[in-house]
Amino acid sequence: MREKAAGQIDLPGLHCVQYIQGLQQEAQQALNEHVRLIHRGDQARFAKLNVALSMLRSINANVIAELFFRPIIGTVNMDDMLLEMLCAKL
């Protein structure tokens, strides 16, 4: 999934944008809390992680699916899989 700006999802046809934005915000908050608790002396760690995560977003979804999912569950379409996982809970 690609983001235009913080919290803005650019995925045509997506019907549960607000729900996904809420999940993203919750994940950011949980990561921030975890980093503060575990790495108390490293105040820049959360910012470094956000930079690394933003770089990972630039990797093509097909490459991620090929590297991590194909050996386990076979060929998958990452967009379809994410939409199914995220929207199934509604």
**Segments making up each domain of the chain, as ranges:** 15-58, 61-90
Read off the pTM.
0.55
Predicted confidence at residue 56, as pLDDT, reads 84
Predicted confidence at residue 5, as pLDDT, reads 45
Predicted confidence at residue 62, as pLDDT, reads 80
Predicted confidence at residue 34, as pLDDT, reads 93
Listed in sequence order, the residues at least 6 apart from 65 whose beta carbon sits closer than 8 Å to its beta carbon are 75, 76, 77, 78, 81
Tell which residue, 42, 38, 33, 26, has the closest CA to residue 89. 26
Residue ranges, the chain, pLDDT below 70: 1-11, 89-90
DSSP calls for 31-55? HHHHHHHH-TT-TTHHHHHHHHHHH
**Neighbouring-strand partners of residue 5:** 8
